[in-house]
């Protein structure tokens, strides 16, 4: 081992500015009309409609949330009035903070703005959500299936998509009876 | 494909990461490179060249110009059954001679719908499922899932269980990095490294087998603690690991560190800058090798890992060589944590005493009616987790491993999503390999250390 393992005792938040908790969130809320801040199991959460998501994400990036670590969705079929909820997890390395954006997306013709232009890493993540839930991301450069085959029918992680009740489909698997 | 050349990105790499900077320009060509509309990468259309010939405009494909050069480009499919793709990674390459012009990962060949399966399993059965995702770091998957469940439950984990978790996951990190280094060596031609890496990994797996019953897919870390206490004589086994692996690592250093062939194949290859890493959500050794001092074990500690001394290893150039150095450094740091955890292992319970969450000891079942009821309830319908949602992340050997868990108050998760670090890290490939040689493809993939079980889940 060599100097590459140099001791780096200072945590990022110790080196940078102190976390300005409420100012930061207030700034984000001002950027996106209709956004509401909350706390869920100790994490900062912002709820916003699909129309405000792009603005909120852009403002979050400006505010120092450099990385979009995860995008996923939940299907609340039969549990909530608005069927889908898009979940965007952002992280700020400098402030050592996380922020979760929750976006309700209606069940008929689900669509949300793509975040690829703000966070390029959203590319694969949004493709996965599209593949699994059928939520379209407007403005995504390459919105194709990513885990399932191209010609798969349906979106497997929707709650009305049964487990194991589906004939296995594979591309170019011609039936030869 | 790339307007940015490798030299320019080398320059950019010298300037380390400024927080809150504007979106990197790379996004445009990355986006432009994947607009075919299918998962596979199609040929780029060669524009017809209309030329003036004797006063008439005709379409001429004989003109020696860019259009013809484009025509020389070859689409090559690599994988999914290729020994150096670490599982079933498939790459569409567009080659111009020996140079990779465009690249697109095509994934999903190992997709087994584990997130869907998780919705049908109780919270106690969950670790059996998630442990099969990243099969080189199964304990990290279990830990991440268990931490998410515990966060919603709000149970306290006894100190011994936490120390066992740290001990086991850090050993798992060493074994995972051993495989990464070994396969990295094999892919570039250092076959001895393959033998060495797997030889030492076997030591750790033997200890895992003794402790958990299985070499892989342990289902050892569960919500509420761990499945069993450490076996008798575990101190000696850990001592042997701590004794033998650093010695073996001296061999690796002799073999690779100053090896001119190794350096020739890895230095300056597959460079990714810190800004690109942040933009594309790339974490773990790849991010640290690019110079970003970020490790969730220190920034957002879990399981009491903040009470141990360790350093975060970083590189500077973000190339294959630095990623290899970061992994070597991290192995030594993990062994440091393991030594401290073994020396300060507290006494006490290895799982929580909350009987609503953790099953009672076997002997109590014969004595206590309540214990029998708890046992029965936990193993049939599972324990109930309060309604809520949480995102919990830990530092797996490959980067940020996250678990997004939603409970509707029942015995099974409403939704369990795993943020696989390999999945996001794969997006680094087109950036790393822009205008590089075909042979370097192999080095780049190996240095990313993707585990396809983690990518496809």
What are the tens digits of pLDDT across the range B76-100? 888 787 766 777 888 888 888 888 8
Rounded average pLDDT over B349-377: 84
Q: What is the pLDDT of residues A28-60, one digit of tens each?
A: 887 777 778 777 777 888 888 888 898 899 888
What's the pLDDT at A139? 87
Q: Average the pLDDT over B400-407 and give the result.
A: 93
Q: Which of B451, B445, B454, B450 is nearest to B84 (CA)?
A: B445
CB-based burial, B109-148: b 16+ in 10 Å, e otherwise = bbbebbbbbbbebbbbbbbebbbbbbbbbbbbbbbbbbbb
Per the domain annotation, does B24 fall within a domain? no
Model confidence pLDDT, tens digit, residues B3-17: 566 556 544 543 443
Question: For residue A113, what is the domain's CATH number?
Answer: 3.30.460.80
Query: Residue B295: which residues within 8 A CB-CB, separation 6 or more?
Result: B288, B312, B395
How many CB atoms are closer than 10 A to CB B213? 12
Rounded to whole angstroms, how far apart are CA atoms B284 and B132? 20
Spell out which residues of chain B touch residue A121, defining contact as CB-CB under 8 Å: 279-282, 424, 427
pLDDT of residue B43: 56
Residue B42 with chain A: CB contacts under 8 Å: none
- Convert the pLDDT of each residue in B197-206 to its tens digit: 999 999 999 9
Q: Residue B40 falls within a domain, yes or no? A: no
Select from A13, A147, A165 the residue whose CB has the most chain B CBs within 10 Å, as the one to mutate to test that interface: A147
pLDDT value for B283: 92
Average pLDDT over chain B reads 82
Residue, of A169 and B247, whose pLDDT is higher: B247
Contact criterion met (CB < 8 Å) for B27 and A69:
no
Does the distance separating the beta carbons of B278 and A41 come in below 8 Å? Answer: no
Q: Does any domain span residue A21?
A: no
Q: Is there a domain that residue B71 lies in?
A: no
Taking residues B114-125, report their average pLDDT.
Answer: 90
A7 within some domain: no
CA atoms within 13 Å, Cβ hemisphere of B287: 32
User: Domain containing A79: what range?
Assistant: 38-153
Please tell me the total count of domains within chain A. Answer: 1
pLDDT tier, B238 (very low <50, low <70, confident <90, very high otherwise):
very high
Instruction: Identify whether the C-beta of residue B273 lies closer than 8 Å to the C-beta of residue B132.
Output: no
Strand pairing partners for A137? A112
Domains in chain B, number: 1
CATH code where residue B169 lies: 1.10.645.10
Does residue A1 fall inside a structural domain?
no
Residue B2, pLDDT above cutoff 60: no
Question: How do A136-138 and B50-53 pair as beta strands?
Answer: unpaired
Q: Which residues in chain A are closer than 8 Å to B325, comparing Cβ atoms? A: 2, 4
Residue B4 lies in a domain: no
Find out whether A132 and A73 touch, Cβ atoms under 8 Å: yes
Q: Distances from the Cα of B38 to the Cαs of A150, B43, B384, in angstroms?
A: 7, 12, 42
Identify whether B23 is part of a domain. Answer: no
Question: What range does the domain containing B301 cover?
Answer: 114-154+157-351+386-456
Distance from CA of B327 to the nearest CA of A (A): 10
Tokens at A133, concatenated: 């839930």
């Amino acid at each position: 081992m060599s100097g590459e393992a140099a001791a780096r005792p200072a945590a990022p938040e110790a080196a940078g500015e102190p976390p300005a908790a409420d100012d930061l969130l207030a700034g984000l809320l001002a950027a996106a009309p209709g956004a509401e801040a909350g706390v869920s199991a100790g994490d900062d959460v912002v709820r916003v409609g699909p129309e405000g998501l792009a603005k909120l994400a852009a403002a979050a990036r400006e505010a120092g949330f450099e990385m979009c670590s995860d995008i996923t969705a939940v299907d609340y079929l039969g549990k909530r009035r608005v069927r889908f909820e898009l979940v965007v997890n952002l992280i700020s390395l400098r402030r050592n903070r996380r922020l979760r954006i929750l976006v309700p997306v209606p069940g008929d013709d689900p669509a949300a703005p793509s975040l690829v232009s703000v966070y390029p890493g959203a590319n694969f993540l949004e493709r996965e959500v599209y593949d699994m839930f059928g939520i379209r991301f407007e403005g995504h450069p390459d919105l194709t299936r990513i885990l399932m085959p191209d010609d798969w029918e349906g979106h497997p992680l929707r709650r009305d998509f049964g487990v194991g009740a589906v004939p296995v489909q594979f591309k170019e698997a011609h039936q030869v009876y | 494909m790339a307007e940015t050349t490798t030299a320019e990105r080398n320059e950019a790499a010298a300037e380390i990461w400024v927080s809150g900077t504007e979106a990197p320009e790379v996004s445009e060509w990355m986006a432009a490179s994947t607009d075919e509309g299918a998962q596979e990468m199609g040929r780029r259309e060669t524009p017809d060249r209309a030329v003036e010939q004797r006063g008439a405009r005709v379409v001429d494909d004989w003109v020696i110009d860019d259009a013809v050069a484009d025509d020389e480009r070859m689409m090559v499919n690599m994988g999914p059954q290729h020994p150096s793709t670490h599982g079933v990674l498939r790459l569409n390459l567009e080659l111009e001679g020996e140079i990779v012009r465009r690249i697109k990962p095509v994934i999903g060949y190992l997709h087994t719908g584990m997130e869907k399966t998780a919705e049908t399993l109780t919270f106690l059965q969950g670790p059996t499922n998630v442990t099969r995702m990243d099969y080189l770091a199964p304990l990290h998957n279990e830990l991440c899932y268990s931490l998410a469940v515990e966060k919603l439950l709000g149970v306290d984990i006894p100190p011994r269980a936490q120390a066992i978790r740290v001990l086991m996951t850090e050993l798992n990190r060493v074994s995972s990095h051993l495989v990464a280094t070994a396969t990295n060596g094999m892919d570039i031609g250092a076959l001895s490294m393959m033998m060495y890496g797997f030889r030492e990994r076997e030591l750790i797996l033997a200890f895992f087998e003794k402790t958990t019953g299985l070499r892989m897919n342990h289902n050892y870390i569960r919500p509420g603690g761990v499945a069993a206490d450490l076996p008798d004589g575990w101190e000696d086994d850990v001592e042997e690991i701590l004794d033998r692996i650093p010695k073996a690592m001296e061999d690796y250093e002799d073999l690779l560190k100053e090896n001119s062939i190794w350096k020739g194949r890895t230095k300056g290859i597959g460079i990714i800058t810190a800004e690109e890493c942040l933009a594309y959500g790339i974490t773990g050794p790849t991010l640290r090798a690019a110079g970003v001092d970020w490790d969730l074990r220190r920034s957002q500690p879990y399981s009491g890992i903040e009470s141990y001394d360790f350093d975060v290893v970083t590189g500077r150039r973000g190339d294959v060589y630095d990623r290899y150095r970061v992994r070597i450094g991290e192995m030594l740091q993990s062994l440091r944590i393991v030594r401290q955890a073994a020396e300060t292992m507290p006494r006490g319970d290895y799982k929580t005493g909350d009987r609503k969450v953790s099953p009672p000891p076997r002997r109590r079942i014969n004595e206590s009616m309540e214990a029998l009821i708890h046992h029965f309830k936990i193993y049939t319908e599972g324990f109930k987790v309060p309604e809520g949602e949480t995102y919990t992340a830990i530092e797996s050997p490959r980067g940020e491993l996250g678990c997004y868990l939603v409970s509707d108050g029942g015995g099974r998760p409403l939704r369990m999503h795993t943020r696989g670090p390999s999945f996001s890290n794969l997006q680094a490939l087109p950036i790393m390999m822009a205008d590089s040689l075909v042979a370097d493809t192999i080095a780049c993939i190996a240095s990313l250390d993707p585990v396809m079980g983690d990518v496809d889940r």
